[in-house]
Amino acid sequence: MPEQRTEADRPARTTSAAGAYEALRARIVSGGLKPGDRIREVELAQEMGLSRTPVREAIKRLEQDGLIRHAPHKGAVVRALDPQSMNELYLVREVLEGTAAGLAAQHASTAEITALEELLATQPPEGQDDGGAEAARRNAIFHDAIGHAAHNRHLLHAMDGLSGAMALLGPTTLSMPGRIPVAMEEHAAILHAISARDAGAADAAARAHIRAAHRARLHLLYGIGG
């Protein structure tokens, strides 16, 4: 029997290939479509109130982005990352996040730094977070805020492009026991350096944070310490 979906699960109606692309990408990034899930062109076109042509164009764009691939006997599916791709993503993310933190130390406004401080202050304790979902949401907001505080549009575009691929990694590493408080300490170190206007320290702290997240991802992948 086909899986039943609620209205919240369905892509928002749109009127263009660009809108179809954004709607599908949002579902992949949010986890509404998971690695291995089939992309049914006809069904999506009906849900969006479109012909198949703009949906097909959106799927092609997502394939070019590396978020969708064509599997034998299945057609278009959400791409699943292999370990090598995962490692490559974290290496690129380390560079981007370090650069963003360093630039934020130089260019962030007082209001932007205050907003980052408030984000850290409202992070729920580990025991009050359901599987790390809320921590993951706030983590994404924190990193996005640093990206904007860097005040470099090209860097922000690169970070946004990477975020889609990162969504293919699967469950958040913040679901691992003990990872939330450690990540909060790492965030605090990044913010401390940004507040002190120490670009070198901010870059180093952000890179160390991403390396720690990479190690946690490897542990989650291989079932270590979980």
pLDDT digits over 29-75, tens only? 777 788 888 998 888 888 888 888 899 999 999 988 888 988 888 88
Which among 120, 95, 106 has a CA at the least distance from the CA of 210?
A: 95
User: 1 in a domain, yes or no?
Assistant: no
Number of structural domains found in the chain: 2
The answer on pLDDT for 190 being more than 60 is yes
**Are 90 and 25 in the same domain?**
no
Query: Which of these three, 54, 78, 102, is where a domain ends?
Result: 78
pLDDT digits over 70-99, tens only? 888 888 999 888 889 899 999 999 999 999
CB 158 within 8 A of CB 19: no
CA separation for the pair 101, 25 (Å, rounded):
26
Amino acid 5: pLDDT: 46
Q: Identify the band that residue 4 occupies on the pLDDT scale cut at 50, 70 and 90.
A: very low
Does 136 or 191 have the greater pLDDT score?
191
**Are 139 and 201 in the same domain?**
yes
* Average pLDDT over the chain, rounded to an integer: 86
**Are 14 and 118 in the same domain?**
no
**Are 87 and 74 in the same domain?**
no
The answer on pLDDT for 199 being more than 90 is yes
**Are 95 and 127 in the same domain?**
yes
The answer on pLDDT for 9 being more than 70 is no
Which among 223, 194, 221, 225 has a CA at the least distance from the CA of 209?
A: 194
Rounded mean pLDDT, 204-223: 92
Q: Identify the band that residue 160 occupies on the pLDDT scale cut at 50, 70 and 90.
A: confident
Q: Identify the band that residue 103 occupies on the pLDDT scale cut at 50, 70 and 90.
A: very high
Rounded mean pLDDT, 145-157: 97
Amino acid 80: pLDDT: 83
pLDDT over 90 for what percent of the chain?
A: 44
Does 33 or 7 have the greater pLDDT score?
33
Kindly provide the b/e burial profile for residues 101-128, where b requires at least 16 CB atoms within 10 angstroms of the residue's own CB: bbbbbeebeeebbebbeebeeebeebee
Amino acid 3: pLDDT: 45
**Are 193 and 103 in the same domain?**
yes
User: 39 in a domain, yes or no?
Assistant: yes
The answer on pLDDT for 2 being more than 60 is no
The answer on pLDDT for 127 being more than 80 is no
Task: Tell me the whole-structure pTM to 2 decimals.
Answer: 0.75
The answer on pLDDT for 138 being more than 70 is yes
User: 162 in a domain, yes or no?
Assistant: yes
CA separation for the pair 199, 188 (Å, rounded):
15
The answer on pLDDT for 7 being more than 50 is no
